[in-house]
Amino acid sequence: MALTSHVSSDNGRPAEWWRAEYPARSSARETVPQTPPGDVPAAFWSLVAFTFVLLIAPQTLIPELLLFRLALLAAGLGVIAVLVDRLLRRQPLSVLPAEVRLAAGLLVWAVFTTPLSRWPGGSVVFMADIYLKSLVIFWLLANAVTTPRRLRQLAWALSMMAIPLAMAAVQNFLEGDFIPIPGVKTVPRIFGFDAPLTQNPNDLALMLNLLLPLTVALFLSRPSPLLRVLLPVAIGLQAVAVILTFSRAGFLTLIVIGLAYLWKLRRRKRDRGWAMLAVVVGVASLPLLPAGYDARLATMTDTASDPTGSAQARRQDIYAAVSWIKGHPVIGAGIGQDTLALNAERGPRWKALHNVYLQYAVELGLPGFALFLLLFGSCLRSVARVERAAEDDPALRSLFHLAGGIQVSLIAFGVAALFHPVGYHFYFYYIAGLAVACKTASEASGSPVSEPLDRRLA
């Protein structure tokens, strides 16, 4: 008697009776729900404490605090709090969006090229003293600021910390607390704020410009009536302080911030009036600019007229940097070694390269430069996505404005980076961390973004 076959109910093809049948595999890949990282209050407030120590530097007022190494203590507690929370929740130890992966790739390339550095030991010290610290805070921002509420709280903290920085600039100018330059008759430059990132007036202007868009974002998010009065005062104070530093890069960056917000607000009827008012106030304030300010700005185009010689020297450094890159396109001078590279090209002056983009290209070669550009561009794209996703949701008004503010801060850094030697410092990596936090907060709020979040471990 012949064996009979039966028809599979799944595919309609005959199947032998001795063959085991299995459920058909789904053609669509199953979607596993991703649990957003939980809020870790201890990590967040440790981050706020670190930021306070970084910007306000209470240890300069109370020297005894130096014994406690407050910045290291706060950052360490924040990192430990995140890791312990992730382990207890059985979640991945870190979020891994594109920005975190790109930053990790940039670090790997910097480590890989260190043995080929012009001074390997100096590169190791630079990495440990500056770059790794910046990356740790970048990581902490990405993992500790995970909700719109936390992002808003941090923006408020940063805006409030900007006020004493701006007040110090105004006070130093009014009291004549200027940097002495022996033998050079030039416009006096004020001392900065007595903190690691703002002692130099140029660095003070950079920091204020990076924080200013966050203050504007808080104002546009329509807080209480009292705060709507206080925030414009804070915005004006920060803008005035930038001008009083007599920083040419600071002035250009301030103008770009204003133009960026004019572009953003041009189609928003509710906010367009504030933009026009800001333009009117700015134009009306031109006669109030400090004496000699126009002459200072003129040196940007007429470098020969700069009595300090800084404009001429920086132009020569750009030529030397380009020459070095042509001769070393892949493996650069090594992280932190731009000074040695410039010395080799144009003679020993022992001056750092005042251009972040060229700094990466000189030190890490074109691969490192490309990785930095990808990281910078990814941060810009992420906050732009969040801004678009939250635009039409009244419940996400604050997140919408904060995303726009972080975007303007990134643009501000992109302009200021043409004039500062701060490629590996907190200035960029803090704002980049805010961009990642903004994306994570958006996803925690349920606002859709184009790129799905990857929560898997490396």
pLDDT at 200 over 60: yes
| Mean pLDDT confidence for 368-389 | 97
For tokens 């972040």, name the residue. Answer: 356
Under 8 Å between Cβ of 404 and 435? no
| Mean pLDDT confidence for 92-121 | 96
CA 149, 151, 154, 158 torsion: positive or negative? negative
pLDDT at 338 over 90: yes
Return the pLDDT at 295. 81
pLDDT at 27 over 50: no
| Mean pLDDT confidence for 304-316 | 75
pLDDT at 422 over 50: yes
- Distance between first and last Cα of the chain: 60
For tokens 């367009």, name the residue. Answer: 272
**Nearest alpha carbon to residue 151 among 449, 401, 456:** 401
Alpha helices in 328-425 (DSSP H): 338-346, 356-390, 397-416
For tokens 């053609």, name the residue. Answer: 27
Q: Which of 173-187, 196-210, 393-407 has the lowest mean pLDDT?
A: 173-187
Quote the percentage of the chain above a pLDDT of 90. 67
Return the pLDDT at 185. 61
pLDDT at 228 over 90: no
Return the pLDDT at 114. 97
Q: How far apart are CA 314 and CA 131, in angstroms?
A: 24
CB neighbourhood size of 452 (10 A): 11
Return the pLDDT at 180. 81
Question: What's the pLDDT band for 4 if we cut at 50, 70, 90?
Answer: very low
| Mean pLDDT confidence for 102-112 | 98
pLDDT at 31 over 50: no
For residue 121, with 0-12 CB atoms within 10 Å meaning exposed, 13-18 middle and 19 or more buried, which class applies? exposed
Question: What's the pLDDT band for 5 if we cut at 50, 70, 90?
Answer: very low
Q: Which of 135-139, 310-314, 386-390 has the lowest mean pLDDT?
A: 310-314
Return the pLDDT at 277. 82
Q: How many CA atoms lie within 13 A of 299 on its CB side?
A: 23
| Mean pLDDT confidence for 264-272 | 79
pLDDT at 220 over 50: yes
Q: How far apart are CA 10 and CA 211, in angstroms?
A: 62
Distances in whole angstroms, Cα of residue 268 to Cα of each of 167, 274, 328, 406, 438: 32, 10, 48, 18, 22
Tell me: the pLDDT tens digits for 366-375?
Answer: 999 999 999 9
pTM above 0.75, yes or no: yes
pLDDT at 444 over 80: yes
Question: What's the pLDDT band for 186 if we cut at 50, 70, 90?
Answer: low
| Mean pLDDT confidence for 22-34 | 43
| Mean pLDDT confidence for 372-382 | 97
pLDDT at 458 over 50: no
pLDDT at 403 over 70: yes
Question: What's the pLDDT band for 447 if we cut at 50, 70, 90?
Answer: low
Return the pLDDT at 148. 94
